[in-house]
Amino acid sequence: MGKKRKRGNRRRKIDGVLILESIDKNDPGSEGRFLSHMFNLMDVRSQYIEVRTKRQFIAMFDANPFNAVHITTHGYVTPNFDGFWTPAEDRLWTEDFSEGSAKEKLIVSTACRSGFKAFAQPFRKRVSAKYYIAPEGRPKFHNAIYFAHWFYHNVIVLKLAPREAMKKYEEGYKNPHDFTLFD
């Protein structure tokens, strides 16, 4: 007979990451393509999709085959975070997402101010994400890349739970844009 595992001690392995990116012609580069390359080097399955419209964004989000989603786009900020942006000038509000569409998944966003509590908590609850991690401020391209690389290295390679990785980040790193974990 095989060994029985205790449920509480089992860490959920990231089986892959869906990268949803909406970029602007003035962006300094493609964070999503960088992440896709990084995941290839880490031997982590990923799928990069450049989304242009709200409808496409929601369809891809809902059809995600992995247990992690990385959203790299801009945010509508007036002065708080109101929703994700797409090049078609569509705004994605919390209500646009299907209830339970990210059940028990990890969602990481690098959109400016997407860690604004009044958006983040209802969004995480609506999509039923296990974790939602996002910046409180407006990270520059290189700071967002730094955080994403650091976070995924700790979670995927070092096998830390997202909460442990975020605690380590908060205690030891000086990235000028704080990222917050909502669970």
pLDDT at 19: 97
Q: Given this model, what pLDDT does residue 143 score?
A: 86
pLDDT of residue 32: 92
pLDDT of residue 12: 54
Backbone angles phi, psi at 67, to 5 degrees: -100, 15
Supply φ then ψ for residue 109, to 5 degrees.
-125, 140
Q: Which pLDDT does position 176 carry in this prediction? A: 59
Q: 87 exposed, middle or buried (CB, 10 Å; 0-12, 13-18, 19+)?
A: middle
Bridging pattern class, strands 179-182 and 131-135: antiparallel
What is the per-residue pLDDT for 7?
42
Sign of CA dihedral 170, 94, 137, 154: positive
Task: Tell me the C-alpha distance between 100 and 129, whole Å.
Answer: 8
Domains of the chain: 13-182 (3.40.50.2300)
Tens-digit pLDDT profile for the chain (183 aa)? 444 444 443 445 678 999 999 988 888 789 999 999 999 999 999 999 999 999 999 999 999 999 999 999 988 778 788 899 888 878 899 999 999 999 999 999 999 899 999 999 999 999 999 999 999 888 888 888 889 999 999 999 899 999 999 999 888 876 656 789 999
CA distances from 63 to 23, 36, 137 (A): 21, 18, 29
